[in-house]
Amino acid sequence: MLDLAPNLTQAAGWMPIAFLVVMGLSMLAYVILDGYDLGVGVLMRGASDDDKDTMIASIGPFWDANETWLVLGVGILLTVFPMAHGVILGALYLPVAAMLVGLILRGVAFDFRVKARAAHKPLWNRVFHTGSLLASWSQGYMLGSLITGFADSAWTMAFNTVIGLALVAAYCLLGAGWLIIKSEGPLQLQAVHWARRSLLFTMVGIAAISIATPLVSPSIFAKWFSFPNIVLLLPIPAATAVLFAVIYRSLQRLPTRLAQGNEYGAWVPFGATVGVFLLAFYGLAYSLFPYLVIDKLNIWQAATSPEAMGVILVGAAVVLPVIVGYTVFAYRVFWGKSTALKY
Amino acid sequence: MENLDALVLARIQFAANMTFHILFPTISISLGWVLLFFKLRFVKTGQQHWMDAYQFWVKIFALTFALGVVSGITMSFQFGTNWPGYMEKVGNIAGPLLAYEVMTAFFLEATMLGVMLFGRERVSERMHTIATLLVAGGTTLSAFWILALNSWMHTPAGFEMVGGKAHVTSWLEVIFNPSFPYRFTHMMLASGLTTAFLIAGVSSYRWLRSERGAEVVSGIKTGVYLAAVLIPLQIIAGDLHGLNTMEHQPAKLAAMEGIWETQKGVPAVLFALPDEKTRSNRYEIAIPKLASLYLTHSLDGEVKGLNDFKGKHPPVAPVFWGFRIMVGVGMLMLLISWASVFQLKPWQKNKTSELTVWHARVLVGMTFAGWVALIAGWYVTEIGRQPWLVSGILTAADAASKVTAPRIALSLSVYLTLYVALIFAYISVVFYLARHKKHADKPFGDASDKLEDQPNVVNYTEKQGPAHA
């Protein structure tokens, strides 16, 4: 793969890799962090009015910063890989628009639902749910498009649609895991129930994607099923299966334990789901590298000039650790069970 | 539809999104600093009404901020979807500026907003004040970067073109390009004025509804005094910005003034219908030589006319009218804010002078006056840059994407519907909050939602004073 690269000792060679890593990690951070926000939004539909408030209180202080990782990821795509940004976002024009509408609806509903007149609150709750669902699904659809190299046959659109649904399920699993950590009492037990259902759909979804991906993409097929790659890749599905088993067992045991007020292991479903996301991300990165548009545009072809990359890289090296630092601070401030948000 | 090609639709879509977006940061930038002012007054004096004002306005801040965030995210995508040629040509400059905005400003404001809104009981009073400061600073820093880029598109500097792409020769010249200091100052003052009239208007509305406690009165005073101080500064800054435009973008200035022929002793056109077919003004009412006076500071100074830029000047009528609307609203702001100051008589130490009902009504009418001037001025400068996207380097047509018109039309209609609905919802919720302060103060996530008229329980009296001693 690296044979496509120019001299890696030159800035034009290694900088795109460095930025690919930063962009990938931002997207991963976004998917996990806003993933639980969106999951909570999707799950909200089935909750009682009081529970809805608690659920939103559990994500209220975080969602805005969580969403910013998406801006950073897309920002790097835009600024460091401008060629790819044009191609990818041009091809994804409608799903991107759908996601943006979803994010707009979700974001404004956060505020409107508690500030507009009480009679309108159910409406804004519905907007919140719909926005979360639309954003989650269209992100999955885009992921599907990325895997299929933005082909738009009926077959790939069906594939993308299914990935969209799988991602909704996976976000619900994350969201339910988050709620198990952040809530108490009946809502917490309800979250365990949600997590069980989401787990089932997530497992089916990930299995389907794993089978379908090499079938829709010949180049991924070639990459996966050649020696020694297959040996190196095998730990990914194996570890994913183990994590699913861990989540399943934890969800079996948690209700009894939580009912006794014992929080031991409340972190397991969320933590293990994050593990699944990391593995899926690793698998995806491995499958696509070094391409941004599969088989068509690699990171070196898409990168901007080394000088511009250098300027951004210096800023990123200084600022990103600071961002991580105050993000940790904010999470510590709101550590523990979420309480009613008031201001 | 047959006349609406993809370029026009892409422009309408981007303009619609920009117009919608700019409304909210313009408020949140200055409202952040006003909140810091309220907070510091409370910390210093321990007077509860400052904290009440903070509690009331922080809700509107949160709402405004959320609308700014979601529309800003939309914009970061539309750069690529609508104008792929932009990043390809000037990505070496736009890229780092946008990246620095995200890295230094977006994360800071987004993260600290959580602490500022919800963390007051979980952190020290000092940390909460710092969080407020960081949010206000973050919004301003964000404006700094984005206006640096915007100004660079108007007056590019500090670069060279190599192989059809812009390469930076000096970052200092790129950031502090010729129009940046003027544009940044003008925009920050516009933000201050928009917020000042919003605060004065909403507070007057509450005052008219017989809510005349210390909190509301201090809101009126804060808004009116801020407006009265900023508006003369804005007139000076606007004038300087105009002179800067004359130097660097003469075609835009000619369109603003409605001047077709290059001439000496140029009249100031008060009213006219500019006609691009006949290349003249119809129904012109003008004051002789005045434009030369304020543009060149000499009665016989020469000003370039539009006919010097045939085919390369912006559409005249929107720029011409946008400019007059902006200046008109500015004059109205001057008149009303100063009249209100004379009514309130802050120089009288002993007596407390109140607004009259009519003053209050006028202030309510001016609540969103800042938005009108802002949008009008924004159109003047941005339409005034046409046909260029980056002056002299890249036209909008060359940067446009190849996305087909129906796709843009579909997403555009969805966006437009959404934007109109959200602006409507925003304005009505602002006034709803003003009417139902008690309801609005209810803790969110509180099970006792159904009690419409419960007393205001969230006033944090227990945290006064010592934490910041």
Query: What DSSP line would sit under A253-308, residue for residue?
Result: HHHHHHHTT--TTTTHHHHHHHHHHHHHHHHHHHHHTTEEETTTEEHHHH---HHH
Banded model confidence at residue B29, pLDDT cuts 50, 70, 90:
very high
> How far is residue A270 CA from its own chain's centroid?
13
Option in A80, A116, A320 nearest B429 (CB)? A116
* Chain B residues touching A49 at Cβ < 8 A: 449
In this structure, of B229-238, B361-370, B398-407, the range with the lowest mean pLDDT score is B398-407
Q: Is the CB of B96 less than 8 angstroms away from the CB of A308?
A: yes
Q: Considering its fold, how many domains does chain A have in total?
A: 1
Identify which of B224, B424, B423, B253 has the alpha carbon closest to the alpha carbon of residue B343: B224
Banded model confidence at residue A307, pLDDT cuts 50, 70, 90:
confident
Greater pLDDT, B260 or B193: B193
Does A331 fall in a domain? no
Question: A254 to each of A246, A266, A274, B123, how far by Cα in Å?
Answer: 12, 7, 18, 32
* Chain B residues touching A112 at Cβ < 8 A: 63, 425, 429
Q: Is the CB of A86 less than 8 angstroms away from the CB of B80?
A: yes
Identify which of B468, B403, B369 has the alpha carbon closest to the alpha carbon of residue B81: B403
**Element containing residue B302 per DSSP (H, E):** strand B302-303
- Spatial separation of the C-alpha atoms in residues A16 and A88, rounded to whole Å: 17
Asked if B201 and B120 touch (Cβ cutoff 8 Å), the reply is no
Q: What does the pLDDT read at residue B31?
A: 95
* Chain A residues touching B114 at Cβ < 8 A: 60-62, 64-65, 330, 333-334
Q: What does the pLDDT read at residue A3?
A: 61
Distance from CA of A333 to the nearest CA of B (A): 6
User: Is the torsion defined by CA of B407, B413, B418, B419 positive or negative?
Assistant: positive
Q: Please give the residue of chain A at the shortest CA–CA distance from B163.
A: A305
DSSP state of B442: S
In this structure, of A133-137, B9-13, B100-104, B445-449, the range with the lowest mean pLDDT score is B445-449
Q: What does the pLDDT read at residue A102?
A: 94
Identify which of B274, B259, B350, B349 has the alpha carbon closest to the alpha carbon of residue B306: B259
pLDDT at A172 over 50: yes
- Mean pLDDT (chain A, rounded): 86
Q: What does the pLDDT read at residue B2?
A: 41
Q: What does the pLDDT read at residue B458?
A: 38
Residue B418: partners with Cβ closer than 8 Å, 6 or more residues away: A101, A104, A105
pLDDT at B32 over 80: yes
Q: What is the CB-side half-sphere exposure of residue B359 using CA atoms within 13 A?
A: 20
pLDDT at A290 over 90: no
* Chain B residues touching A68 at Cβ < 8 A: 102, 106-107, 110-111
Banded model confidence at residue B462, pLDDT cuts 50, 70, 90:
very low
Q: Is the CB of B422 less than 8 angstroms away from the CB of A312?
A: no
Q: What is the CB-side half-sphere exposure of residue A292 using CA atoms within 13 A?
A: 29
Which residue, among A64, A69, A74, A320, would best test binding to B if mutated, counting the most B CBs under 10 Å from its CB?
Answer: A64
Option in A74, A320, A341 nearest B118 (CB)? A341
Amino acid at A191: A
Q: Tell me, what's the ipTM?
A: 0.84
Does A133 fall in a domain? yes
> How far is residue B252 CA from its own chain's centroid?
20
Q: What does the pLDDT read at residue A187?
A: 87
Q: What is the CB-side half-sphere exposure of residue B327 using CA atoms within 13 A?
A: 16
Give the position of tokens 């599907």.
A144
Q: What does the pLDDT read at residue A342?
A: 62
pLDDT at B213 over 70: yes
Count CB-CB contacts under 10 A for residue B314.
24
Does A253 fall in a domain? yes
- Per-residue model confidence as pLDDT tens digits over B129-173: 999 999 999 999 999 999 999 999 999 998 888 888 888 888 999
Does A262 fall in a domain? yes
Size of interface A-B (CB pairs under 8 A): 250
**Element containing residue A211 per DSSP (H, E):** helix A185-216
Q: Please give the residue of chain B at the shortest CA–CA distance from A79.
A: B95
Q: Which two tokens stand for residue A328?
A: 């940790």
Does A4 fall in a domain? no
Banded model confidence at residue A43, pLDDT cuts 50, 70, 90:
very high
Does A321 fall in a domain? no
Does A316 fall in a domain? no
Asked if B104 and B145 touch (Cβ cutoff 8 Å), the reply is yes
Q: Is the CB of A323 less than 8 angstroms away from the CB of B103?
A: yes
- Spatial separation of the C-alpha atoms in residues B326 and B322, rounded to whole Å: 6
- Per-residue model confidence as pLDDT tens digits over A238-275: 999 999 999 999 998 888 888 887 888 888 899 999 99
Domain with A159, as residue range(s), is 14-310
Q: What angle do CA B15, B85, B74 make, to 5 degrees?
A: 40
Q: Please give the residue of chain A at the shortest CA–CA distance from B171.
A: A311
pLDDT at B242 over 80: yes
- Spatial separation of the C-alpha atoms in residues B449 and A79, rounded to whole Å: 46
Which residue, among B35, B58, B70, B408, would best test binding to A if mutated, counting the most A CBs under 10 Å from its CB?
Answer: B70
What percentage of chain A carries pLDDT values higher than 70? 97
Q: What does the pLDDT read at residue B343?
A: 84
Q: Is the CB of A333 less than 8 angstroms away from the CB of B63?
A: no
Which residue, among A115, A120, A123, A309, would best test binding to B if mutated, counting the most B CBs under 10 Å from its CB?
Answer: A115
Banded model confidence at residue A229, pLDDT cuts 50, 70, 90:
confident
DSSP state of B452: T
Which residue, among A67, A69, A79, A318, would best test binding to B if mutated, counting the most B CBs under 10 Å from its CB?
Answer: A79
With the CA atoms of A114, A118, A122 and A123 taken in that order, what torsion angle do they form, in degrees rounded to the nearest 10? -80
Banded model confidence at residue B442, pLDDT cuts 50, 70, 90:
very low
With the CA atoms of B44, B46, B52 and B57 taken in that order, what torsion angle do they form, in degrees rounded to the nearest 10? 10
Option in A62, A90, A339 nearest B81 (CB)? A90
Does A36 fall in a domain? yes
Q: What does the pLDDT read at residue B144?
A: 95
* Chain B residues touching A327 at Cβ < 8 A: 107, 111
Q: Please give the residue of chain A at the shortest CA–CA distance from B421.
A: A105
Q: Is the CB of A330 less than 8 angstroms away from the CB of B66?
A: no
Q: Is the CB of A93 less than 8 angstroms away from the CB of B106?
A: no
Banded model confidence at residue A174, pLDDT cuts 50, 70, 90:
very high
Number of H helices and number of E strands within chain B?
Answer: 16, 8
Residue A21: partners with Cβ closer than 8 Å, 6 or more residues away: none
